[in-house]
Amino acid sequence: MTADNPSSHRLPVHLVDDDAGVADACRYLLAELDHAVTYWSSGEAFLAGAKLDEPAIVLLDMRMPGLDGAGVHAELRQREACLGVIILTGHGDIDMAVEQMKVGAIDFLQKPVAAAALAAALETAGQRARQCAADRDLAHRAAALSAREREIADLICRGLTNRDIGTALSIAVRTVEVHRARVVDKLGATNSAELAALWQRLR
């Protein structure tokens, strides 16, 4: 495992490929694109050593001895890792790559990898990883809501006023206001419109 060119404004990239020559070429392209990259020579080493609880991008070779790319991808899904997965394929592996896209991979790139295609795939993979991390954080915050707060959040999302919510739940308007403020705070919203949008994402 080696790391190159750390960059603070992009997600880290994991390169998983047993072919050192291909890895060197990819690492050069990634450095040119200003991405920090950590190289792993096997799927087992990657799963054992990478920080899979943080959003990142992974360039994943399909054919490797031991645990292959499909096996690594399956493990990432099992662990619910927020990684944007880009499949690296050799000649004749396109069908395998397409199957991986059906189960969540962002894109597949044929070797030798072209810089323009790599840049586009990295952008999409980064967006997916960040969205996954944001959704996971939102779900964790929502788990802190009480049953009453969840009821009120649902009614807010339906467009009911505080008075309507109070009537529906047989509670005082002031009580609704208190619960509403707690829901907004716990979900990290700035106003009711944002709260409704966040609640729709959760649903």
pLDDT of residue 2: 53
pLDDT of residue 202: 84
**Do the strands 83-89 and 56-61 form a parallel or antiparallel pair, or are they unpaired?**
parallel
Local confidence band at 1 (pLDDT 50, 70, 90 cut-offs)? low
pLDDT of residue 92: 75
The string of pLDDT tens digits covering residues 103-156 is 999 999 999 999 999 999 999 999 999 999 999 999 999 999 999 999 999 999
Q: What are phi and psi of 14, to 5 degrees?
A: -105, 130
Q: Is the pLDDT of residue 9 over 90?
A: no
Q: How far apart are CA 172 and CA 159, in angstroms?
A: 18
Is 23 in contact with 17 (CB distance < 8 Å)?
Answer: yes
What is the three-class DSSP state of 57? strand
pLDDT of residue 193: 85
How much is the pTM?
A: 0.81
pLDDT of residue 6: 40
Distances 100 to 86, 89, 126 between C-alpha atoms, Å = 9, 11, 18
The string of pLDDT tens digits covering residues 17-72 is 999 999 999 999 999 999 989 999 999 999 999 999 999 999 999 999 999 999 99
- Hey, what long-range contacts does 192-195 have (CB within 8 A, 24 or more apart)? 192/156, 195/153, 195/156, 195/157
